[in-house]
Amino acid sequence: MRPTAYQPLHHKYRPQRLDQLVGQEAIAATLGQALRSGRIAPAYLFSGPRGTGKTSSARILARSLNCLASDEPTPEPCGSCELCRAIASGTALDVIEIDAASNTGVDNIREL
């Protein structure tokens, strides 16, 4: 039997598609409609208490916009192309996640 790498449950079972966002149906519907209609805002700000799906929503949106399996933004990213995997694992070079709890100053944003 091959040993598997330890992975926290909140990473292992993180939502991978908009329809998997539990308790965020309105946000999922809004993002899905924006993707389907091609009316994507230049920026999105995800805020709220810990554990409400901010990071998951942002990563799903990033995969939806960058999925290589589709020529256009899609509400259903493939999850298996190189970019989808890199975004899901947090290693994509073109996607920057900012932890607002640790980066609270204007200078942190200017560094971008």
pLDDT one-digit tens code per residue, 7-51: 888 778 889 999 999 999 999 999 999 999 999 999 898 888 988
The model's pTM: 0.84
3-state secondary structure the chain: CCCCCCCCHHHHCCCCCHHHCCCCHHHHHHHHHHHHHCCCCCCCCCCCCCCCCHHHHHHHHHHHHHCCCCCCCCCCCCCCCHHHHHHHHCCCCCCCCCCCCCCCCHHHHHCC
The CATH number for 60's domain is: 3.40.50.300
Instruction: Give the domain extent around 44.
Output: 9-92
Looking at the structure of the chain, the number of domains it has is 1
The larger pLDDT score, comparing residue 4 to residue 24, is at 24
82 — pLDDT class (breaks 50, 70, 90):
very high
